[in-house]
Structures are given as C-alpha cells and as structure tokens.
Amino acid sequence: MKNKIFFSLLIVSLATTFSSFHHKPVPKRQKTGIKTIIVDAGHGGRAIGAKGKYSYEKNVCLAIALKLGKMIEAEMPGVKVVYTRTTDVFVDNRYRAEMANEHKGDLYLAIHANSVRPLEHRKVVGYKKEVYYTGTGKKKKKHTRSVPKYKTYYSENPAYGTETYIWAADRTESKGEFVSERMSEDETDSTEYRPDLNDPEFKAKSLLWTKRFFDKSLMLANMVEEEFVKGGRHSRGVKQRNNEGIWILQATAMPSILIETGFVSNRKDEDYLNNKKGQEELASQVLKAIKRYKASFEKN
Ligand SMILES: [Zn+2]
C-alpha cells in the first residue's frame, strides 16, 4: 500500500515535471520591481584605491558594502544581494560589470571613497644672488641681482563630504550597447529567438530602456545624497563623470550609481569612514534611499 501511494505520487510528480517542461512559463521582464541588487565594493587586493593618512580606500569600501548588503537582506525581504567581492581581492572592472549583468541586477551600487591631493604652497625663505647679462659683444655687461628663494610645502586639502555619480549623458550610446545585449539575452531566454540588434524597433526599445535607466539612476543618486544630508553629512551633490572609474556605470545594463562616501584625504572624513558607527550610518542612509526609490515605483 505504501509503495502504491509512493508510486502514484511519483507519477504525479513526474507528470508535473514533464508538463512544466512543455508549458514553460514565459518569464516576463520585471519592469519596476527590485529583485536583485549588485553591491560593488570598489578596488580590492593590489588595487588599494585612494590612500589616507592611515587607511586604504579598498578597506573602507568593503566594510561599508558588507554592512549595506546585510541591511538590505535584513530589511528588504525578497531582495537578493550579489556582491562583486566580500574579501580583500583584486576584481577586474570588466568582471564586475559581467557579473552584474549575468545576475540580471535591477540596481547596481558601487561603493567608493574619494581623495584629493594636498594643497601646494610656496613661501619665501630667503634671497640669493643671481647673475645676468645685458647687451652683446663689447657692450656685454655682467650684473647681479637678488632673487627670492622659495620652499614648497603642503597642507591638507579641505575637500570633504559625499558625492554620487551617474554616467555622463553623452555616454548613453555606450550604455545602450550593454542594455541591448542584455535585452537580447532576456528575449532569448523567453522566446529562444535572438532579436536582430540592428532592427530599428529593437533599437528604439533599447534606447528607451537606457533613458529610463538614466532617469532612475539620477533619481536614486539624488535620494542617496538627500539621505546623507539628513544624516548630517556635507553633500557635494550628484555628478556626471567620464573617467575610467566610471566606465562601470556604462557597462552595467541597469540603473547604476557610484557613491563616494567621503574623502580619506580629509582627517575627519577618514576617521568617520574607518569608524564602525560611521560605516553603519552611511550604509543605513543608502538603504533608506533604496527603500524610497523602491517605494516610488510601487506607488505608481
Ligand atoms: Zn574608488
């Protein structure tokens, strides 16, 4: 009897398995939901990032990223966190982007810390005699004059506070290529048909997605900076930048931002960034921004 029940259960489960093969539900692209967040701690391993008086950017990034990831997991049920690194290892930027795209992230957050060169000053520390000549040939005359002697010294650059980056609007085309690629893969998953990347309709759709990603990134970046201000930090605002470190924002086919959490070159910021309480505050401010961002879609 027991065997019979087992056998019929087996048949039922096999039948379900087979039927699910035949009627594979077509996965729909989730348009506004946030299921997967990529948390990317900048630098790592031999890439130490910016250097403070006593700390490296790579360690600050990792500490904040891990705290943020844990908070997302604890407070946003149903949201999966994917880390690009959880230890002090070198990670290639291309790999970070590939990872984000392969995991079909709905949001990409890069955590970094800033630094600036110290300010350079010159002061007169004395005078020295300098020889110079006037005229040529027989009229040539030798003179001496006294010129100031300088000493160069440096002082701390007062730059401090947070800033959040989105990719520059003039890089939309580049971002669009990554978005097209991902969209094409998504469609391949669901219909086993690879769309023609040059098809004008597909191109228009991909451009539309890219623009939406830009708007979403800008919105989230503003929210992050607003939360920092509410938390008492000095915000340098939302910025667009085109240098190498920002390439990753173009290469990730999803809304993406890069958060500069403070300046390790500034004494107060460096202390704050290396302090557990500071790291937790930063992570919880970013979390608040993500929750607001998510809620704004759920309202609509
Ligand atoms: Zn960095």
Q: What is the Å distance from ligand 1's center to 19 Cα?
A: 50
Is residue 191 exposed (0-12), middle (13-18) or buried (19+ Cβ within 10 Å)? Answer: exposed
Write down all domains in the chain, each with its CATH number in brackets.
36-114+158-299 (3.40.630.40), 119-155 (no CATH)
Q: Is the dihedral of CA 69, 72, 74, 80 positive or negative?
A: negative
The neighbourhood of ligand 1, an ion, using CB within 5 A, equals: 42, 49, 112
Q: What is the Å distance from ligand 1's center to 246 Cα?
A: 9
Q: Give the residue carrying structure tokens 């700390």.
A: 55
Q: What is the Å distance from ligand 1's center to 94 Cα?
A: 15
CA–CA distance, 105 with 197 (Å, rounded to integer): 21
How many other CB atoms are found less than 10 A from the CB of residue 110?
Answer: 27
- CA-to-CA separations, 271 to 160, 161, 260, in angstroms, rounded: 12, 12, 15
Closest CA to 82 of 96, 93, 94, 92: 96
Note the pLDDT of residue 109. 97
In single-letter form, the type of residue at position 263 comes to F
Q: What is the Å distance from ligand 1's center to 50 Cα?
A: 7
Q: What is the Å distance from ligand 1's center to 78 Cα?
A: 29
Is residue 169 exposed (0-12), middle (13-18) or buried (19+ Cβ within 10 Å)? Answer: exposed
Note the pLDDT of residue 1. 45
* Strand pairing class (36-41; 80-83): parallel
Q: What is the Å distance from ligand 1's center to 65 Cα?
A: 13
Closest CA to 260 of 239, 289, 231, 287: 239
> Using N-to-C axis directions, what is the helix angle for 276-299 and 200-230, rounded to 10°?
130
CA–CA distance, 100 with 257 (Å, rounded to integer): 13
With a cut of 50, list the residues of the chain below it in pLDDT: 1-31, 188-193
Q: What is the Å distance from ligand 1's center to 52 Cα?
A: 12
Note the pLDDT of residue 29. 45
Residue 163: φ, ψ to 5°? -150, 145
CA–CA distance, 157 with 238 (Å, rounded to integer): 21
Q: What is the Å distance from ligand 1's center to 261 Cα?
A: 10
